[in-house]
Amino acid sequence: MSKLLHDISLEIKKAVKMELASVNESLSSWCIKMDTINATLEILTEKVKDLEKKNMYLTNQNTHLELKVNAMEQQIRNMEQKQLDNVLEITGIPEDKDENLEKLSSKLASKLNVEKRQASMVKRLKGRDGKEGVIQVVLQQEEQVDQWIRAARTETIALEDITPNAPNPEVAKRRVLLRRALTKANKTLLWQAKKTLKETYKYIWFQGGKVLARKFDNEKPVIIRSSCDIDKLSSQKYR
């Protein structure tokens, strides 16, 4: 009986040893696989970090390029506007096939009590989409544009005051307005600013090549260079 138990014990020990050997072999295999996986993860982690660095570099480069492009575009817009610094626009005068623009500008100068000879060239710009065109007066100096505009603020000029060719009595009473000539980009920017900020800013105007906005009389004006500036100013009213 004891011999039988001894033999059974030996068989059990043998079976356990074989099973443990198999388990150890499996564990060893899994350890090797885990080491391989960990090594692969480390490599992938380093690659991800490297890609993140490259992405950050490219993002910074893109931002830098955008700033440079925006600065160059702003310089171009400033140069284009600079060419119009001494140009005045007159609105409210309908086009007439027999019109004499030099004579019209001369009469307007007389009404405003400014020197007629300041105007070196007068031309009419065609309106778009059926709209009435404006008359541009090229003056000799930039300061003269302000002089004409200031005079027009104190003297109400009707169309009948400078031309007898009004199409009807109602149009003859129409007020003739003067303003600075602006590039298309600045006209659009000024229009957007007035439309978006009219509820929060008391004054929105164009001066010195820039669109300016001011909430109160004694407040320093804010410079608006782009539609992004308009969006920022607009969002501030909700804070």
Q: What is the CATH number of the domain that holds 113?
A: 3.30.70.1820
| Residue that finishes a domain, picked among 157, 181, 205 | 181
Residue-level pLDDT at 25:
67
Q: What percent of the chain has pLDDT over 90?
A: 47
Residue-level pLDDT at 20:
59
Same domain, 92 and 176: yes
Residue-level pLDDT at 11:
64
| Residue 226 lies in domain | 182-239
Same domain, 127 and 211: no
**What is the Cα–Cα distance from 184 to 76, expressed in whole angstroms?**
13
**What is the Cα–Cα distance from 92 to 173, expressed in whole angstroms?**
10
Confidence class of residue 52 from pLDDT cuts 50, 70 and 90?
very high
Same domain, 77 and 132: no
Residue-level pLDDT at 37:
80
Same domain, 63 and 93: no
Same domain, 164 and 222: no
Q: How far is CA 131 from CA 69, 92, 177, 222, in A?
A: 34, 11, 16, 32
| Residue that finishes a domain, picked among 82, 102, 130 | 82
pLDDT of 238 strictly over 60: no
pLDDT of 127 strictly over 90: no
pLDDT of 23 strictly over 70: no
Confidence class of residue 27 from pLDDT cuts 50, 70 and 90?
low
The tally of domains found in the chain comes to 3
Q: Name which residue leads in pLDDT, 228 or 3.
A: 228
Residue-level pLDDT at 214:
94
pLDDT in tens, 183-207: 999 999 999 999 999 999 999 999 8
**What is the Cα–Cα distance from 213 to 237, expressed in whole angstroms?**
14
Same domain, 11 and 90: no
Same domain, 76 and 66: yes
Q: Name which residue leads in pLDDT, 120 or 6.
A: 120
Count Cβ atoms below 10 Å from residue 99 Cβ, excluding itself. 15
**What is the Cα–Cα distance from 187 to 196, expressed in whole angstroms?**
14
Residue-level pLDDT at 201:
93
Same domain, 116 and 78: no
Same domain, 7 and 27: yes
Give yes or no for a contact between 139 and 87, defined as CB atoms under 8 angstroms apart: yes
Same domain, 127 and 152: yes
Same domain, 113 and 198: no
**What is the Cα–Cα distance from 165 to 184, expressed in whole angstroms?**
30
pLDDT in tens, 92-117: 888 888 888 999 899 999 999 998 88
| Residue that finishes a domain, picked among 181, 197, 215 | 181
Same domain, 166 and 101: yes
pLDDT of 166 strictly over 70: yes
